Chain A
Amino acid sequence: MHQVSFEVPQGSVFGVLGPNGSGKTTLLGIVMDVLKASDGTYSWFGEPPSEKHRQQIGTLLETPNFYHYLSGEQNLRIAAAIKGKGEGDIPRVLEMVNLSERKHSKFSTYSLGMKQRLAIASCLLGNPSVLVFDEPTNGLDPVGIAETREMIKRLAKEGKTIILASHLLDEVEKVCTHVAILRRGELLMAGDVNEVLTNEDFIELGAGATALEALRSALSSLPNVRQLKVQEEHIQLYAENGAVDPAAVNRHCFEKGIVLTHLQLRKKSLETKFMELTDDQQAKPGRR
């Protein structure tokens, strides 16, 4: 990691994004004290980190780590004891991840999805206010993925702070309020998801295939136009400061004698944004 610095606001769902090998798990490993950083500091709950803080955080880091020869329930007893929580919460968390029926089965007999769900159950023990999930939908089937997303949304609504590391941008986009984007151990961007994407809003316009050139000409006379991307049937308009006003654009076109058949304000998907950011970085000389 190099020069990575950001703050996770209380109650946010904070996405840590990056391709494989970008440093997401390393970053979380450092703040969970399983990896030693050569330099730098971090704090939990505004205090210097200690094991007491980790007991108040539900963490799923990389892979589910449990004793293979013990049952799911016996493994959760160990986790609860380490966290200093009572065993009374175990049935609730097992129920939340639909593992109650297999709680007496040995961990070694679990499928990959069941192991992942047990790890999520372990995170939820004691109802912690902060949750750290590293690729939480790894190994889950489509139903499991949807259930996990719903659960994360539900937990977020309860006011919990969730740090979610994933290379599945779609997953992060659907649930996160904040993002940090990493590449090769460096922080490319961090902040409110709307701020990060704010100047990436664009308007997609159409006036029929025959009027496309006239539309392009009309739009180019608009003030603050940064870029016009002509596509097969539509034109994408990017404004200079990111602030695009669909009403003003519509009025301008009408005054130029063009009747729009299509007008849509669109946000650039996180994936597109991410690809652009990482492409920019690759394009810089001397990066390799």
Chain B
Amino acid sequence: MLKLLRIEWLKVKNYRAFWILLAMSILCIPGLNYLLFDLMDNSFPKGKGKAIVGSPFAFPDAWQTISFNSTLTFILPAILIITLTTNEFTYKTHRQNVIDGWSRQQFIGVKLVELVLLSLLSTFVVFLTALAFGCVGNKVAPGQSIWPDVRFVFFFFVQMLSYSMIAFLLAMLVKRAGLAIGAFLIYMLAENILVGVLRNVYKLNGVDYLPEEVTDRLIPQPYLRKVLQSADDVTRWEHHLPIYLGIAALYLIIYCVFTSRRFTTSDL
């Protein structure tokens, strides 16, 4: 696999668009979080904000807040994934790689590993950003552990991997960058609308398990929790957490199997 990754590295290391999109994907995580932090800080009269919204950027809430905010940047790594994948189809290099001596499984396998690596990199940046906000931006009380709720960073990883796989799947199906990015945006929007309508109008709880919604549910929105969430909500969320994770894992397996089968059995 290291050999295959080295070849993938040769493909991107001199590709300017790759570096620009990667830098944007990474820098937007601390950037957006700072923007939201700043917005909150300046939205309330001095000293009143904490009483209203609590301290979402201080430990232990920082893990959840930073993870949640960072999910809003998913479109950038999705564009990166779609660009790199559709490039292969545009230049027909997916054919050439196979002709030159890769098996189809190797081609698809290394792409899937890349998605995991990109998700790990983003997750690491989220971890560092949360640490920075939690430790540097806010005082940690003596004796207070910063680690409770660090699990939200893992949930971010699951969510990021899931969105990355959806972007990859669309790129493999559509094969054109513009169309795939459009399809990704429409899907993100359409599922949210569908979930809203089915849950609120038709009272269908099964919509919680749709591909996007089930990973969204891993990280509940962290703001105004005291006002918007009851103790029952938190207990119910804790109870459903293993189910959300299990179904998210199932979707990931389905994405992997579907993309692999499609690439290994169809004409290139």
Kindly report which residue of chain A lies nearest to residue B104, judged by CB atoms: A33
Which residues does chain A contribute within 8 Å of B96, judged by CB atoms?
65-66, 79
User: Interface size bucket, B side?
Assistant: 20 to 34
Kindly report which residue of chain A lies nearest to residue B7, judged by CB atoms: A81
Bitwise interface map of B from 238 to 268 toward A, beta carbon under 8 Å scored 1, else 0: 0000000000000000000000000001111
Bitwise interface map of A from 17 to 41 toward B, beta carbon under 8 Å scored 1, else 0: 0000000000001001111100000
Which residues does chain B contribute within 8 Å of A71, judged by CB atoms?
14
Contact A51 B266 (CB under 8 A): no
A44 to B129, CA, bound (A): 54
Contact B265 A36 (CB under 8 A): yes
Contact A55 B95 (CB under 8 A): no
* In the assembled complex, A83 has its CB within 8 A of some CB on chain B: yes
Contact A82 B102 (CB under 8 A): yes
Q: List residues of B (87-101) whose CB comes within 8 Å of A's CBs.
A: 87, 91-93, 95-101
Which residues does chain A contribute within 8 Å of B93, judged by CB atoms?
65-67
Q: B12: shortest Cβ distance to chain A, in Å? A: 9
Contact A83 B101 (CB under 8 A): yes
* In the assembled complex, B106 has its CB within 8 A of some CB on chain A: yes
Contact A70 B99 (CB under 8 A): no
Contact A77 B102 (CB under 8 A): no
Q: A167: shortest Cβ distance to chain B, in Å? A: 21
Which residues does chain B contribute within 8 Å of A51, judged by CB atoms?
98, 101-103, 106
Contact A74 B91 (CB under 8 A): no
* In the assembled complex, A257 has its CB within 8 A of some CB on chain B: no
Contact B101 A82 (CB under 8 A): yes
Contact B95 A74 (CB under 8 A): no
Which residues does chain B contribute within 8 Å of A83, judged by CB atoms?
100-101
Kindly report which residue of chain A lies nearest to residue B93, judged by CB atoms: A65
Q: Given A36, A59, A63, which contacts B92 in the complex, CB threshold below 8 Å?
A: A63
Contact A69 B14 (CB under 8 A): yes
A189 to B103, CA, bound (A): 32
* In the assembled complex, A52 has its CB within 8 A of some CB on chain B: yes
A169 to B268, CA, bound (A): 28
Bitwise interface map of A from 77 to 90 toward B, beta carbon under 8 Å scored 1, else 0: 11101111000000
A55 to B99, CA, bound (A): 8
Contact A79 B100 (CB under 8 A): yes
Contact A36 B266 (CB under 8 A): yes
Which residues does chain B contribute within 8 Å of A82, judged by CB atoms?
7, 97, 100-102
Which residues does chain A contribute within 8 Å of B103, judged by CB atoms?
50-51
Contact A78 B267 (CB under 8 A): no
Contact A81 B98 (CB under 8 A): no
* In the assembled complex, A68 has its CB within 8 A of some CB on chain B: yes
Contacts known (A36-B266, A36-B267); A54 close to B99, Cβ less than 8 A:
yes
* In the assembled complex, B15 has its CB within 8 A of some CB on chain A: yes
Contact A81 B92 (CB under 8 A): no
Contact A32 B10 (CB under 8 A): no
Contacts known (A36-B266, A67-B11); A81 close to B95, Cβ less than 8 A:
no
Q: Sample 15 A-B pairs with CB under 8 A, ordered by A number.
A: A33-B104, A34-B268, A35-B268, A36-B266, A36-B267, A54-B100, A55-B100, A61-B99, A63-B92, A66-B93, A67-B15, A67-B93, A69-B15, A69-B16, A74-B14
* Cβ-closest 5 pairs across A and B: A55-B101, A65-B96, A65-B92, A82-B100, A51-B103
Given contacts A67-B11, A83-B101, 19 further A-B contacts (CB under 8 A): A32-B98, A33-B98, A34-B95, A34-B267, A36-B265, A51-B101, A54-B98, A54-B100, A66-B96, A67-B15, A69-B15, A77-B10, A79-B96, A79-B100, A81-B7, A81-B10, A82-B101, A82-B102, A83-B100
